[in-house]
Structure 1
């Protein structure tokens, strides 16, 4: 029975996961200047909050914007920028509760001043962080309508469209972002992801290489380039890129999972299992990791353990694992 299990498992080996990239939230100095009320003290406080934000002291920036809002609850810029600082704090602390507060601030800023393009951009970014890609794209639409020369809005809409499977439209948005700002390495990462999904492997490789030329510390570029290497039948090249991604971001489950797949491609099942173990420790509810660990275990002849992993994947809703488990492991 073991050989039958292994044969079927190899046939359903999941493809590499593809990561997209999008810019974090931003507050924009020109927006402060363009819409500030003519009160010198308010100007100084907004500038203080802006500088604190740039320095990465998001808690201090939030306190500064708090003071402005206490004095003037309808200060749209302070609300918008507190929204940005709260979201950066959510990203830095992995505390999603800050997103709700940020969302409320951006909504109120938009109600007070619907012309604030950056408020729509910030709200788009919040929704990208929360995985609501359709809503994110709509808010980026509004940001672009109000400020068509702001490159990050095109970049974030590109990211949303990649996640929605709208790859050609995503490429157009990232091209527009690069036309406005050629230094946006993350636009090349998103183009790489879109082209990889379209099967345009050579073009995808060029974009990932260009992204890394601009910024050699882009984790997602290494993950996507690893996926390209595996798709091109170069598992060792893929392993090298996934290893670089893990060095930059040691808690990235997908990098371990994808490297595990590449080890399995080479018959290095023990190393594959170690990577799947690590991926599962980080993301225990991702069914693909259990299925792919089952493949590696079946490669070592550990049929019983492979069936245990298929059962776990099935319990997480993986229908293929459920079918295989019922067919071969009962």
Structure 2
């Protein structure tokens, strides 16, 4: 069994050994830092090569979510943590329901801070986690795995596909089993790591960049922004309340007194407040226009009297 696993790892770019770095521990800290920084600088170019596949996946995801579907990330270890991180940032940034973008990590929430032995090798766990969500055809499941061979991620994608959900496989090796299992395969090949097999480095960075693209552009397509302003953010603390006022000001150029009045009238809803100020309608009319425009502020402005 272990001989077979070792043979599999030997074929993966992310696991490749780099002889030129064999004595890196004898270098100065600054030289090691420069070497690592140079490695990191190659990641955006690797992501750029996959932008057509990423864009195609985003358009498909947005179409499903516009019908009420959910976006589900599924991965193990670092890959799973990246998914949970991206999902957890969507409610405060885009005012999404916490159940709209979901991060699943093999082994459950405790695996975020402590490794759960064997969880990534369990396809049964993936099936159980997704069964609990009650997947529908409107949902999307993104399996994340640096190697592209993690059983948890592959099973998550296969399970979701069997139920008609949209599937995406994100890996950092070419010709991966994960990409093959998904409708949309995204393989960002970042090459061997500075530390052999430590895929929390370049591979983890690549996954973070791709997930940023997927969630952000999907939300743009769903009308969660106005230009490059986060008009659907949830003001849950003083910093975000200050940001809400600033976003309304940038979008409308209205005086502070009018901005405060609009935010008060709309219960702090940034998008609605902008519509009140730009269209010169009351809060109730703004709410109705946004509902009729499925939350798209530009469309609501066009439809305003």
TM-score category, normalised to shorter length: under 0.3
Q: Taking structure 1 as the reference length, what is the TM-score of the superposition?
A: 0.25
Greater strand share, structure number: 2
Greater helix share, structure number: 1
Q: Taking structure 2 as the reference length, what is the TM-score of the superposition?
A: 0.27
